[in-house]
Structure 1
Amino acid sequence: MKLLTLNFLTCAVKACKSSSDSFPLHPKECELVSDTIPPNPQLIQNVLPRLDWRALSTTASELGFPTLPENAPTLEELQKDEKMMAELHTLLLETSVSEGMLVCGNCGHEYRIKEGIANFLLPNHLV
């Protein structure tokens, strides 16, 4: 599961739909894998406006990545800053979670990740 994907996931528990604590899901005991992918600056530039920067920053710090700037860079800043572009490429596209869990900050439900696939099926009492 690419780290980019984590920026779009929220808790599936019905009671968490109205809580802001259900996003982002927090990685726990995660095993990270890095794949080398050719740089694609256009993809990063297209994805940047769709990202929740606060959630990305939280996820990155919880996984031990360097601290991201407080505010998302503008497209113009990103085009000029090759280092930031490379760091975002590595973080979003080359880094994957192969094993571990994603934990909801609201209800504490743990979604298991096995072989890079998260299990979002809920037990009947949480549906």
Structure 2
Amino acid sequence: MKLLTTNFVQCTVKACASTPNCFPLHFDQQTDELPLELVHEDIEFSPEFIYNILPRIDWPALLTTSRELGNNLLPEQKPNIENPNAPENDQILRDLHTLLLETQIMQGSMRCNSCGHIYFIRDSIPNFLLPGHLVQ
């Protein structure tokens, strides 16, 4: 699961849909059952892609997620990039590319701050299926 994906998912428990704490899901760093495993995957850099996806990114959620994973390189405010090919934007676009597209979560778990439900990630695939008692 690419880190970019985490910026677009929230808790699927119906009771959480109306609460602001269902997003973002938080990574549990140390769990005995499924420890967090990240890998780096080389992907060709495309400044235009990052430039075009940037308006869709929930910046506070991305900051939270990146810090939970130990990345403190992102600025507090979302960058205002007018030209993706301008030299002064190269480093921030590369940092975002590395974080969003090259960071692969192979295993671990994400937790909802509202209800506490844990979503496991195995073989880079998050399991968002809910047990029967949480579906209603």
TM-score bin (small chain): over 0.9
Partner Cα distance (2:57, 2:6) in 1: 10
Find the counterpart in structure 2 of residue 17 from structure 1: 17
Q: Runs of 5+ in structure 2 lacking a partner?
A: 30-35
SS at match of 1:73: coil
Find the counterpart in structure 2 of residue 42 from structure 1: 48
Please give the TM-score of this superposition, normalised by the length of structure 2: 0.89
Report how many aligned residue pairs link the two structures: 127
From 44, 58, 62, give the equivalent of 2:64: 58
Please give the TM-score of this superposition, normalised by the length of structure 1: 0.95
Moved more, 69-78 or 51-60: 69-78
Equivalent residue runs for 1:1-127 within 5 Å: 1-29=1-29, 30-76=36-82, 79=86, 80-127=88-135
Q: For each residue in 1:28-68, what CA deviation from the matched residue of structure 2 results, as whole angstroms up to 9, or x when unmatched?
A: 23210110111010100010000000000000000001242
Q: For each residue in 1:50-105, what CA deviation from the matched residue of structure 2 results, as whole angstroms up to 9, or x when unmatched?
A: 00000000000000012421110012276422211111010000001000001101
